């Protein structure tokens, strides 16, 4: 049964090789299947992982690759079995676009831990074609991996929530750390860290930012609303803060010693790793035994948690701090992100860059 329909194309910006330099690339999108939502991309945040993937830092990159997994867009068409979304809805797409739906993580709304999950880009979809991300004019996504953006939230403000925001929200939710009055630490003040401060503050926590230098002290305390600021090389300050935190969300994506931070945790405290580090980390066992402390990791969040997190941010009137750029600035933005030269997230105005015209 041949199809007479012409294939739908879109233009994105793709990396072609490990230089990671992005340039325009036009490719076909699948037709909108019964469970699919066809989304015109409005904007897309730039995450540190986009940098890793574009440059093949993890050794798993396939080119051409259109990165982008903090996608906000408008629904242009829905499949016949889609009831949750309507044409004109503003929706979000995050890191994943598929899972097996049949394993323990999938059955318990933890699909981000499915071993057969499909990434929004640099992966292969069930039709055998490469997945491509949000630095593009449009996307076709299974409705399970699309989330409705609560009314009244600005699309560019929401973009960083879809990866950075839920990366922080999910472990706080899962480990029972949402109650007010807790004392939390945010290690590293990049895209995820800045959302961490805002979300933890909105939960009513006392929040300490821990950083390698005092460069971000004023903005952490005055702009983001952190309660305290610790420089990890300040032995006296670190000593004073020992045994004071219920949790630390460790967002640092490069090798660093864990022991200085473990000593900041109280009895039963948790060190939660969220940065991708491909070098082994080290600690001596009494650091976790004495105090029954945990070192654990957490990976983005589920679609259910993404929905909850968006509603939480809407209720708390929580915003992100972003720098909006056009697509033709993306290579400069990636370079600046690599040097941590952004407060705190770049968001590409994709619609305003008129890729599909």
Binding-site ranges for Zn ion (CB under 5 A): 47, 49, 99-100, 103, 106, 114, 163
Q: Which is nearer to Zn ion, 110 or 173 (CB)?
A: 110
The helix-helix angle for 191-202 and 164-174 (nearest 10°) equals 50
> Sign (positive/negative) of CA torsion 171, 176, 177, 179?
positive
Q: Which is nearer to Zn ion, 114 or 182 (CB)?
A: 114
Q: Which is nearer to Zn ion, 234 or 338 (CB)?
A: 338
Q: How far is the CB of 4 from Zn ion (least distance, A)?
A: 36
Q: Which is nearer to Zn ion, 96 or 245 (CB)?
A: 96
Decide: helix, strand or coil at residue 217: helix
Q: Which is nearer to Zn ion, 197 or 245 (CB)?
A: 197
Q: How far is the CB of 116 from Zn ion (least distance, A)?
A: 5
Q: Which is nearer to Zn ion, 76 or 103 (CB)?
A: 103
Residue for token digits 């105090």?
291
Within 10 Å of residue 192's Cβ, how many Cβ atoms?
Answer: 27
Q: How far is the CB of 134 from Zn ion (least distance, A)?
A: 11
Rounded-to-integer distance, Cα 217 and Cα 167, Å: 23
What are the beta bridge partners of residue 77? 38
Rounded-to-integer distance, Cα 122 and Cα 66, Å: 8
Instruction: Judge contact between 62 and 133, C-beta under 8 A.
Output: no
Pairing relationship of beta strands 183-187 and 228-231 according to DSSP bridges: unpaired
CA–CA distance from 217 to each of 6, 189, 248, 274 (Å)?
55, 10, 18, 22
Length reported for the chain:
357
Q: How far is the CB of 181 from Zn ion (least distance, A)?
A: 30
Rounded-to-integer distance, Cα 257 and Cα 208, Å: 18
Rounded-to-integer distance, Cα 104 and Cα 238, Å: 41
Q: How far is the CB of 86 from Zn ion (least distance, A)?
A: 28
Q: How far is the CB of 297 from Zn ion (least distance, A)?
A: 15
> Residue 23: enclosing H or E segment and its boundaries?
strand 22-29
Q: Which is nearer to Zn ion, 100 or 154 (CB)?
A: 100
Q: How far is the CB of 164 from Zn ion (least distance, A)?
A: 7
Spatial CA neighbour of 158 closest among 331, 289, 345, 10: 345
Q: Which is nearer to Zn ion, 78 or 146 (CB)?
A: 146
Q: How far is the CB of 178 from Zn ion (least distance, A)?
A: 22
């Amino acid at each position: 049964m041949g199809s007479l329909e012409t294939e739908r194309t879109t233009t994105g910006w793709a990396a072609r090789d490990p230089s990671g330099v992005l340039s325009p690339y036009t490719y076909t999108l699948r037709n909108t299947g019964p469970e699919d939502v066809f989304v015109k991309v409005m904007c897309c945040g730039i995450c540190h992982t986009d940098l890793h993937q574009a440059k093949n830092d993890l050794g798993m990159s396939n080119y051409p690759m259109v990165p982008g997994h903090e996608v906000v867009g408008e629904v242009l068409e829905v499949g016949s079995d889609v009831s949750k979304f309507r044409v004109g809805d503003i929706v979000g797409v995050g890191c994943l676009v598929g899972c097996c739906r049949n394993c323990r993580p999938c059955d318990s709304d933890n699909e981000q831990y499915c071993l057969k999950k499909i990434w929004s880009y640099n992966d292969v979809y069930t039709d055998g074609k490469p997945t491509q991300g949000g630095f593009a004019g449009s996307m076709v996504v299974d409705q399970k991996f699309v989330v409705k953006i609560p009314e009244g939230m600005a699309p560019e403000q929401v973009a960083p929530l879809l990866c950075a925001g839920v990366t922080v929200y999910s472990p706080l939710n899962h480990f029972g750390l949402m109650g007010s009055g807790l004392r939390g630490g945010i290690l590293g003040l990049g895209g995820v860290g800045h959302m961490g401060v805002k979300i933890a503050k909105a939960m009513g926590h006392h929040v300490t930012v821990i950083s390698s230098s005092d460069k971000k002290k004023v903005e952490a305390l005055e702009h983001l609303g952190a309660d305290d600021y610790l420089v990890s090389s300040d032995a006296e300050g670190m000593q004073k803060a020992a045994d004071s935190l219920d949790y630390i969300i460790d967002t640092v994506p490069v090798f660093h010693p864990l022991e200085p931070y473990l000593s900041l945790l109280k009895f039963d405290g948790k060190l939660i790793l969220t940065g991708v580090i491909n070098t082994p980390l080290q600690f001596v066992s009494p650091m976790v035994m004495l105090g029954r402390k945990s070192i654990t990791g957490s990976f983005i969040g589920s679609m259910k948690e993404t929905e909850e997190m968006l509603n939480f941010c809407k209720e708390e009137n929580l915003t992100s701090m972003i720098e909006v750029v056009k697509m033709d600035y993306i290579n400069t933005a990636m370079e600046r992100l690599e040097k941590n030269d952004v407060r705190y997230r770049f968001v590409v105005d994709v619609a305003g860059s008129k890729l599909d015209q």
